[in-house]
Amino acid sequence: MVNAYDGNAADILEPRERAMVEERARLLGPAYRLFYKRPVHFVRGEGVWLFDTDGNRYLDAYNNVASVGHCHPHVVDAICTQSQTLNTHTRYLGQPILDYAARILKTFPPELSHVMFTCTGSEANDLALRIARAFTGKQGVIVTENAYHGVTESIAAASPSLGPDIAGRKRIKTVPLPGEGQKAGAQFADDVRKAAAGFEEEGVGLAALLVDPIFSSDGLRPDPAGFLRPAIDEVHEAGGVFIADEVQSGFGRTGSHFWGFERHGIVPDLVTMGKPMGNGHPVAAVVAAPAVVAPFGKSVRYFNTFGGNAVSCAAANAVLDVIEREQLTANAVAVGAYLAQRLHRALTGHPAIGAIRTVGLFAAIDIVEAETGKKPAPQGADRIVNAMCDKRILISATGREGHTLKIRPPLIFETGHVDILVEALCDIIGTPTHDIRAGENPTDEV
């Protein structure tokens, strides 16, 4: 795994952390992974900050779960109040689920008018595939080469980033990440068409194309906006459905739009969402076109004990309150633009920087070998991620080669936080920071 703690390097840890790492292995077993060469131990969170046991604060430029900020008081209040009042399931009538359902559906095109609740993005994607397979009567699912969609058996198979040892991949085909530039759409559509034809030949048939509309786990590929459209047309032509996995791209992350698919001017057949939906409370959902969910709903009932319970809906509702009240999509546009500008000014042209891609409050920086300026340098990326952690700034790495820095802060990130982040990056990478701090030299772009 990219940015994983190496269990053989325990001797560099402080005794207390070393003991915790050993206790984890003993209690939780071998399948768990920690971040960083020196795993960090947090005891408190507030806004964009996480605090360790010594009271040191870390700038969180990675976690999109606490999207409206760690321990946001409005979300905490909603969870407490509802937990004190009622927390039961969806086989009784209740107002919270209806209020939230109506509210979240208003953020979608009118074609998408049903919402079903789960607890995790994995469950949402798993359910979306069940619905897609019931609708099409086919089994095949197309995903990108380094996609990550979750951890149920069905969805782990559709997550190549989990590695080659995942079972059950006969119903999955991967397509390369879309290229860059104006040909991206045609190339991606062509690859999708070929994969669909392959499924048809094998008698598997095409159920769905499942992608994150900004391709986060493939290293972020947001542009050119609109390039997904031809591929969706191919999928529909082949009788499949298009599922937009908005777990990373949704809830205003892209700034310009509430959902990542909107940037492409398309309407998915199914949309899944998760991580930021409850700011850490386990709630997730599938949004669907009624015709697509009809065959599933007719023959198969769905009940998720905790999914859509009163507390989950209260938490999710409070998150929408905060996004609206604090104008966090506008903030993602403004602070995202400032982040992009600072990264480009500071790093473009540096021999170890292959590319910088951004969308809203999400930035990806390819680290390459300085000698060639091209060859992916995952060890270089790993070094930067860990050096950033030593400076108490949290980022990670991603992409098939693991050489892409992943910067995906809470949506409340401010320009001052960008300054801290970029200056630390420049210090580590070894390049002047260019004096465009927001406070000192504001520009119209910001």
Q: Residues 389 to 408: which contact a copy of itself by CB under 8 A?
A: none
Q: Does 151 bind a copy of itself (CB under 8 A)?
A: yes
Cα dihedral 10, 14, 19, 23 sign: negative
Q: Does 21 bind a copy of itself (CB under 8 A)?
A: yes
Tell which one of 11, 54, 55, 95 touches a copy of itself (CB under 8 A).
95
Give least dist CB 40 to a copy of itself, A.
Answer: 5
Tell which one of 8, 11, 31, 444 touches a copy of itself (CB under 8 A).
31
Residue 247 contacts residue 273 (beta carbons within 8 Å):
yes
CA distance 340 to 38: 29
Judged by beta carbon, residue 73 or residue 181, the one nearer a copy of itself is 73
Judged by beta carbon, residue 29 or residue 439, the one nearer a copy of itself is 29
Q: What are phi and psi for residue 150, nearest 5 degrees?
A: 145, -170
Q: CA dist 337 to 170, 437, 441, Å? A: 42, 13, 15
Give the burial class of 318: count Cβ atoms within 10 A of its Cβ; 0-12 exposed, 13-18 middle, 19 or more buried: buried
Give least dist CB 341 to a copy of itself, A.
Answer: 30
Helix (H) or strand (E) holding 394: strand 393-394
Q: Sheet of 270-273: strands edge to edge? A: 114-118, 284-288, 270-273, 241-245, 206-211, 140-144, 172-175
Residue 221 contacts residue 188 (beta carbons within 8 Å):
no
Judged by beta carbon, residue 84 or residue 444, the one nearer a copy of itself is 84
Residue 283 contacts residue 97 (beta carbons within 8 Å):
no
Q: Does 79 bind a copy of itself (CB under 8 A)?
A: yes
Judged by beta carbon, residue 314 or residue 418, the one nearer a copy of itself is 314
Tell which one of 32, 236, 374, 445 touches a copy of itself (CB under 8 A).
32
Going by DSSP bridges, is the β-strand pair 114-118/140-144 parallel, antiparallel, or unpaired?
Answer: unpaired
- x/- contact string, 101-120, with a copy of itself (CB under 8 A)? xx--x-------xxxx-xxx
Count of residues binding a copy of itself (CB under 8 A)?
105
Judged by beta carbon, residue 117 or residue 227, the one nearer a copy of itself is 117
- ∠ CA(252), CA(44), CA(439), 5° rounding? 55
CA distance 438 to 446: 8
Give least dist CB 83 to a copy of itself, A.
Answer: 5
The residue whose two tokens read 């076109």 is: 289
Q: Which stretch binds a copy of itself (CB under 8 A): 78-86, 212-220, 259-267, 430-438?
A: 78-86
Q: Does 388 bind a copy of itself (CB under 8 A)?
A: no
269-328 residues near a copy of itself, rule: CB under 8 A:
274-275, 279-283, 288, 290, 293-294, 296-307, 309, 311-312
Judged by beta carbon, residue 274 or residue 336, the one nearer a copy of itself is 274
Q: CA dist 247 to 125, 162, 164, 218, Å? A: 9, 17, 23, 14
Judged by beta carbon, residue 89 or residue 345, the one nearer a copy of itself is 89
Q: Does 71 bind a copy of itself (CB under 8 A)?
A: yes
Q: Which stretch binds a copy of itself (CB under 8 A): 81-89, 197-205, 336-344, 417-425?
A: 81-89
Judged by beta carbon, residue 55 or residue 163, the one nearer a copy of itself is 163
Judged by beta carbon, residue 164 or residue 430, the one nearer a copy of itself is 164
Tell which one of 8, 11, 15, 29 touches a copy of itself (CB under 8 A).
29
Amino acid at 164: P
Give least dist CB 160 to a copy of itself, A.
Answer: 13
Helix (H) or strand (E) holding 95: helix 95-105
Give least dist CB 368 to a copy of itself, A.
Answer: 26
Length of the chain measured in residues: 446
159-198 residues near a copy of itself, rule: CB under 8 A:
162-163, 165-167
Judged by beta carbon, residue 32 or residue 445, the one nearer a copy of itself is 32
- Residues 6 or more apart whose CB falls under 8 angstroms from that of 28 comprise none
